[in-house]
A and B are shown apart, each in its own frame.
Chain A
């Protein structure tokens, strides 16, 4: 019995049928972590002490019939920018190296209500700023398919942990592609829901108008099941939306007959790796063969998404990160003279280079005399981008494209040139600007065996269409495999 090979929903079903206990599942995950962590570094915190006791408690509640949910007893990893009461939450920053939240994020509470077993907190780019998980203050995470490569980011620890079977699923957050891109690099499924679907309460904000929590999972079925649990209308989050269509698992249907799918020509142009392009088009062909109507179209404005995004995200981040000042929590410098010196030293020592870079940029674009030219301009471009998507969705049910221009880059390659790194977000970023749902599904590997992700983008509140198409594609594609299986083959 290889517990680790099961998906989250399979494991939950077997726990329910008493084929396996929550404690056995927890132990399997702990063993896996024990074995692999020194290679991959997916986690910042593993709750070694508390996990077994909580597993027993969950088992008891399952046995008593109190917990009947689809994820009851399933071990899950949480990205370290989501608050977990009583459990270290660092945002992969020195700034929060000792921060123990006094409340849990709504998304985490929703999982706990369902009976999911939280194992620990995963590595990420510091404050979710980065695309490689190399900006973490706790060392980089390595891609389980190839340890010389990045897992992507910023939810790199979460994606790598799922791929490496160090958990059964994980939560990530996506501000500009931070769920979908690491999912793509790590060969797992990742979804960013419509803005407002999952409460942001307890998510340590990067770009508040763009941030959204979502699942990273082994397959589309898990993804739908997890999203169903995560989605809720939270009165503590003013941007949370009431929806009565969150029965996402009802969309696990193998059928794309007549579904209209558009591929933006701009997503296939210059900069896109040939092998990635080929894999994505092959996937499109699969959907076409299944009955979808697939065509290419001009989305327009694609090249404006990145500058608009970085202006807005940096501006919001510069303000969101002001609260880290060494007074209420977090890092305070040892020696200082007076208040402002304490602020400056604490923040300069507590934040890493990429975070400081974005705070500086964000402060600048909001500063007197530049607001209209940069920030306001970016908000207007955002409106135009949204309009372009509205037009596209008047013609198509889904937009299909790559997640990232390439497969996972080598460690250390990206940080040297930040703008080049930012350019890698070209296919994911406009989705956040427009508040849309989108999923990354593994659709092949390049000649070096590195996973490639297929992106499916839906209109607002159309997660079900995405899930249905992704599920259909996944069935047709067949088993994708795991890095462990690959290594065992060798």
Chain B
């Protein structure tokens, strides 16, 4: 396997992705990611120096909305799926900002 994923990398990606893997999952993830990256490395065979990256397959552009208020108050619906709610707001663990 050309791509060897370190413990640090898995730890770091876990922080970015907000995933906490068990020891076993971590080992599996290291293996999986290494294999996938080896496989993706195949793209390196292609010379893409002069190629523009393509986000969308064809060009739709300039899609806008007008600056007109269309939404009313649907707070109860917005909060209806919240795991925690208080005073019309979502609750989260105490956060200092």
- Residue B57 at the chain A interface, CB threshold 8 Å: yes
Query: In the complex the two chains form, is B18's CB within 8 Å of A383's CB?
Result: no
Query: In the complex the two chains form, is A307's CB within 8 Å of B90's CB?
Result: no
- A327-B83, A357-B29 known; A196 vs B60 contact (CB < 8 Å): yes
Interface size counted on chain B using CB atoms at 8 A: 51
- Residue B73 at the chain A interface, CB threshold 8 Å: no
Contacts of A364 in B (CB 8 A): 9, 13, 33, 37
Tell which of B18, B32, B55, B93 touches A338, judged by Cβ atoms closer than 8 Å. B93
Query: In the complex the two chains form, is B46's CB within 8 Å of A419's CB?
Result: no
Query: In the complex the two chains form, is B78's CB within 8 Å of A102's CB?
Result: yes
Q: List 27 A-B contacts (CB under 8 A).
A: A99-B81, A102-B77, A102-B80, A209-B55, A235-B65, A318-B17, A327-B84, A327-B90, A347-B20, A348-B21, A356-B19, A359-B17, A360-B14, A361-B36, A362-B17, A364-B33, A364-B37, A367-B13, A374-B37, A377-B48, A380-B48, A380-B52, A383-B51, A384-B46, A384-B51, A386-B54, A418-B32
- What CA separation (Å) do A289 and B55 show in the bound complex? 40
Tell which of B40, B60, B84, B93 touches A374, judged by Cβ atoms closer than 8 Å. B40
- List 17 additional contacts besides A308-B43, A339-B95, A380-B46; criterion CB under 8 Å: A99-B81, A100-B80, A102-B77, A102-B80, A235-B65, A327-B82, A337-B93, A338-B93, A341-B93, A348-B20, A360-B17, A365-B40, A381-B48, A382-B57, A384-B51, A419-B39, A460-B58
Distance in Å: Cβ of B1 to nearest Cβ of chain A: 12
Q: Which of A102, A322, A360 has the most CB of B within 10 A?
A: A360
- What CA separation (Å) do A376 and B53 show in the bound complex? 6
Contact with A along B1-32 (1 / 0, CB 8 A): 00000000110111011111100010001001
- What CA separation (Å) do A362 and B16 show in the bound complex? 10
Query: In the complex the two chains form, is B42's CB within 8 Å of A328's CB?
Result: no
Residues of A that sit less than 8 Å from B by CB: 98-100, 102, 195-196, 209, 235, 238-239, 241, 301, 303-304, 306-308, 310-311, 318, 322, 325-332, 336-345, 347-348, 351, 353, 356-357, 359-365, 367, 374, 376-384, 386, 418-419, 433-436, 460
Query: In the complex the two chains form, is B13's CB within 8 Å of A339's CB?
Result: no
Query: In the complex the two chains form, is A304's CB within 8 Å of B46's CB?
Result: yes
- What CA separation (Å) do A377 and B93 show in the bound complex? 39
- What CA separation (Å) do A386 and B53 show in the bound complex? 11
Query: In the complex the two chains form, is A383's CB within 8 Å of B40's CB?
Result: no
Q: Which of B21, B41, B83 has the most CB of A within 10 A?
A: B83
Closest residue on chain A to residue B62 by CB atoms = A238
Query: In the complex the two chains form, is B42's CB within 8 Å of A304's CB?
Result: yes
Closest residue on chain B to residue A374 by CB atoms = B40
Tell which of A325, A344, A381 touches B20, judged by Cβ atoms closer than 8 Å. A344
Q: Which of B14, B19, B21, B37 has the most CB of A within 10 A?
A: B19
- What CA separation (Å) do A344 and B16 show in the bound complex? 10
Query: In the complex the two chains form, is B51's CB within 8 Å of A342's CB?
Result: no
- A318-B17, A336-B93 known; A386 vs B57 contact (CB < 8 Å): yes
Contacts of A338 in B (CB 8 A): 93-94
Distance in Å: Cβ of B14 to nearest Cβ of chain A: 8
Query: In the complex the two chains form, is B93's CB within 8 Å of A342's CB?
Result: yes
- A357-B32, A380-B52, A383-B52 known; A307 vs B42 contact (CB < 8 Å): yes
- What CA separation (Å) do A303 and B41 show in the bound complex? 12
Contacts of A374 in B (CB 8 A): 37, 40, 43
Contacts of B55 in A (CB 8 A): 209, 379
Tell which of B10, B18, B33 touches A340, judged by Cβ atoms closer than 8 Å. B18
Query: In the complex the two chains form, is B83's CB within 8 Å of A332's CB?
Result: yes
